[in-house]
Amino acid sequence: SADLDLTATDGSYFSNFYSPEDPRPVVQDWVKKYQEKFDQVPDSIGTMAYDATNLLLDTIAKTGEDNPQKVAEMLAKAEFEGVTGRIVFDDKHNPVKPAAILQVKDGKVSFVDMVAP
């Protein structure tokens, strides 16, 4: 959150969907292209929307049609590598994906690592 009190939370850790500091090429490419177009760093919500859109478009392309039932069936079996990491779904259709670990230190939020279930 842009409202995070960096002084009160100094030294703490939290998780998020992604970090623009993640060194993976897919992340750095996304951040560069987004900044060139919008003149700002993409936030985690925008990045999740980007991945969700690309996951859906990829699934539609793999089914070869836009039939909602067939797309839903294919999504249930999807394995997608996005900016936020590898996305798969459990048997209840919940996404299973990694999380970025971030640390608040000296007035800024820094990327620490990605952890995956």
pLDDT at 1: 72
Lateral strand order in the sheet of 99-105: 13-16, 99-105, 108-115
* β strands within the chain, DSSP E: 13-16, 80-82, 85-89, 95-96, 99-105, 108-115
The model's confidence at residue 3, banded by pLDDT at 50, 70 and 90, is confident
Q: What is the pLDDT of residues 45-68, one digit of tens each?
A: 999 999 999 999 999 999 998 899
Q: At what angle do helices 25-38 and 44-63 cross, to 10 degrees?
A: 110
Q: How confident is the model at residue 16 (pLDDT cuts 50, 70, 90)?
A: very high
Mean pLDDT for the stretch of residues 79-84: 96
pTM: 0.88
pLDDT of residue 79: 94
Query: Residue 47: is it exposed, middle or buried by C-beta count within 10 angstroms (0-12/13-18/19+)?
Result: buried
Alpha carbon 58 to its chain centroid, in Å, reads: 16
